[in-house]
Amino acid sequence: MLIFKLAWRNIWRNRRRTIITTLSIVVAVFLSAITRSTQEGQYDNMLENTVGIFSGYIQIHQNGYQDNPTLDNSFAMSDTLRNIVISQPAVSSVVPRIDSYALAATSEQSRPVMIMGIDIDAEKQLSNPVKNLETGNYFDSNNEQAAIVGKDLLKRLNARIGDSLVVIGQGYHGMNATGLYHIKGTVSFPNPEMNKSLVYLPLETAQYLFSADNRLTSLALNISSPDELEPTVEALKQDLSGEHYEVLGWPELMPELKQAIQVDRGSGIIIILILYMIVGFGVLGTVLMMIAERYYEFGVMLSVGTPRKTIAKILSLEVIILSLMGTFLGILLSIPVAWYFNVNPIDLSGAMASAAEQYNMSPMLQFSVSPEIFTNQAITVFIITLIFSIYPIIKASRLNPVKAMKS
């Protein structure tokens, strides 16, 4: 207790030095936490715009569909499969789909499009066309002869709500797929490619178009937490091992997205490491200065019999207290800033917006408020501060008392 009192009083003997040292740690924690928050927020944005509203975190296909995504690799939905899927506690929603590509045409224009047959109720749990409906109305039933198209596709087709849309393609086992539907509405997603090429059809209408009654190309699953991804995939693979299905998590469904995140995360870590080094040497210089101006004091303490270990303990405790104050204040400052820009994302424009759209991200900068970001940065900076303080403390504890008092 006596050592703690001495360390505490020593800290406040020179308030300017204490404030400078603490501020250097505060700035380090703040900058590293905000940098990581920005990066992780972008990754969350990227995943939300692709996994969260398009593919789902997990998909179940017929074996071979991932390598050859055609209607011939579709599968029939069964009660056994549904019961196995919904028995997984982490699965929050099951979304059946039948997807294929076709040519969509109006009286003036034609475009290649992606046809997505959706269960009109289940799809609200994933891409949620109702929420993203820009104009018109949503489907009334799963066999309605209507289509909802991306907002930019409507412009490309030079069509309006209520116009007829002709779809021509190839169905199951080479059957002709031709249909005529009235355009009932448009949807708008953050992903620009979906707005340019997506055509929603009700599930039974799409199955009839492709001559694939009761068949699906994928069963998209949402889970209660991203942390449950790997356990759920493994459990489904074991439960479906005797069936002819493939179970894929989003990293396998979109390896390019996973790779892009890993590359960007690696570059961000390099920047933060440079920041750590700058802060570490800053702390080293401050502690060296703090000890140098107290050489006479240490010489007197050694002369009157104070053990060298006691001096080292007092200095160590001073550094620990300064580090704790700096990291705590750093977290206290960074959390409100990250929270504000999480609730009020920064709208990007110009080249930055175009770059974001190329990665299927909405053109906005949203910070992440994941608790691990702040605690990890605070712990890391705290440890770095302690490491860079070891040398000055050892040097102080080995002082020659006579030379120290003459200095």
- Per-residue pLDDT reduced to its tens digit, 275-322: 788 777 877 777 777 777 777 887 888 888 878 888 888 888 888 888
DSSP 48: I
Are 396 and 269 in a shared domain?
Answer: yes
Domain boundary among 201, 219, 250: 250
Distance of alpha carbon 223 from alpha carbon 14, whole angstroms: 55
Distance of alpha carbon 120 from alpha carbon 254, whole angstroms: 25
Are 190 and 312 in a shared domain?
Answer: no
Structure tokens belonging to residue 290: 């703090």
Distance of alpha carbon 356 from alpha carbon 359, whole angstroms: 5
Single-letter amino acid code for the residue at 355: A
Are 225 and 90 in a shared domain?
Answer: yes
Distance of alpha carbon 148 from alpha carbon 133, whole angstroms: 9
> Beta strand 218-223 with 58-62: parallel, antiparallel or unpaired?
antiparallel
Are 22 and 76 in a shared domain?
Answer: no
Are 293 and 373 in a shared domain?
Answer: yes
Are 145 and 73 in a shared domain?
Answer: yes
Count: domains in the chain: 2
Are 45 and 78 in a shared domain?
Answer: no
Domain boundary among 213, 230, 250: 250
Single-letter amino acid code for the residue at 170: Q
Are 160 and 300 in a shared domain?
Answer: no
Nearest Cα neighbor of 103 from 198, 168, 199 is: 168
Of the chain, the end-to-end C-alpha distance in Å amounts to: 31
Are 243 and 261 in a shared domain?
Answer: no
Distance of alpha carbon 312 from alpha carbon 247, whole angstroms: 58
Residue-level pLDDT at 240: 83
Are 222 and 137 in a shared domain?
Answer: yes
Domain boundary among 250, 267, 293: 250
- The pTM of the full predicted model, rounded to 2 decimals, is 0.68
Q: Which residues of the chain have pLDDT under 70?
A: 52-53, 242-243, 349-363, 407
Residue-level pLDDT at 312: 80
Are 267 and 334 in a shared domain?
Answer: yes
Question: For the CA atoms of the chain, what is the radius of gyration?
Answer: 31
Domain that holds residue 120: 58-250
- Angle of CA points 180, 182, 187, to nearest 5°: 120
Are 246 and 336 in a shared domain?
Answer: no
Residue-level pLDDT at 357: 63
Residue-level pLDDT at 380: 84
